[in-house]
Amino acid sequence: KGHGMIGNIYSTGLAMQVLQATGKFYAPREWDCAQAFSVVYKHDYQLPIAIAQVLPALAGRSYLEAANKDCAAKTSMYPSLQLSCPQSRVQPEIAKVHYSIINKLQGKHFSYTTSVRVPSGSTLLKVLQAAQAEKPKIFSFQTEQTSWGPMVISIHGLAANANDRTYWQFLSGGKALQEGVGTYKPHNGEHIHAVFSTY
């Protein structure tokens, strides 16, 4: 359904470990691992915790096998899969990113949009910082550090609240981003929406 992605880009590695370790329980239906491998091969993992979840699956082992006394290295379970490098592309030195903040959920509703220029390859966090530097009264924000990187907890003075089940959701092209602001890299001309949402 997700063309190989299981949950999101971060949960896929862990799910792959489970499916590799418990594959015999899925007979007669066989798990098509090639799609999942294709997804993780294409992704540029930056966070150590994400790398730690996907690396065992790529090595054909899982953390469930860590207690196994046989420490001899085994050959890859998927020798036909080849790691291919994407073709190099010339990127502009500066990326123009459009950024909107929207609240139609609580208190006084608002919707603001700006365009900022950041070095090509910058993370979304750099985009937020550039917007805040240009218009601090509108695009101010706060983050909280987590094991998965910085998480935006407040924008324009409106804070997420676990009791109200509210949070700031980041979208591109109407789809939720699969990475956090500290790792996602918007492309030139992309429009990012930060929408105050509920779950």
Domain ranges of the chain: 9-65, 94-198
Which tokens is 157 given? 């003075």
Instruction: Tell me if 112 sits within 8 A of 129, measured CB to CB.
Output: no
Residue 128, pLDDT above cutoff 80: yes
> Is 17 among the annotated ligand-binding positions?
no
- Give the three-class secondary structure for 113: strand
Report for 45-54, 70-79, 90-99, 100-109: range of highest mean pLDDT: 100-109
- The residue with greater pLDDT, 163 or 62, is 163
E-strand spans in the chain? 94-103, 110-119, 141-146, 149-155, 158-159, 166-172, 175-176, 191-198
Return mean pLDDT, the chain. 81
Q: Would you state the pLDDT for residue 25?
A: 62
Residue 76, pLDDT above cutoff 50: no
Positive or negative torsion for Cα 182, 122, 11, 19: negative
Positive or negative torsion for Cα 124, 129, 130, 136: positive
Residue 77, pLDDT above cutoff 50: no
> Is 132 among the annotated ligand-binding positions?
no
Q: Would you state the pLDDT for residue 197?
A: 97
Stretch 21-38: mean pLDDT: 65
> Is 199 among the annotated ligand-binding positions?
yes
CA distance 93 to 96: 10
Fold of 94-198: Ferric Hydroxamate Uptake Protein; Chain A, domain 1 (2.170.130)
CA distance 70 to 54: 22
Q: Measuring CA to CA, which residue among 181, 86, 83 is closest to residue 125?
A: 181
Instruction: Tell me if 107 sits within 8 A of 158, measured CB to CB.
Output: yes
> Is 158 among the annotated ligand-binding positions?
no
Residue 18, pLDDT above cutoff 80: no
Q: Would you state the pLDDT for residue 62?
A: 66
Stretch 66-91: mean pLDDT: 45
CA distance 155 to 163: 18
Diameter over CA atoms, the chain: 62
Q: Would you state the pLDDT for residue 138?
A: 97
Percent of the chain with pLDDT over 70: 74
Cis omega (within 30 of 0) for bond into 28: yes
CA distance 11 to 76: 21
Confidence of residue 177 (pLDDT cuts 50, 70, 90): very high
Q: Would you state the pLDDT for residue 41?
A: 67
pTM, entire model: 0.60
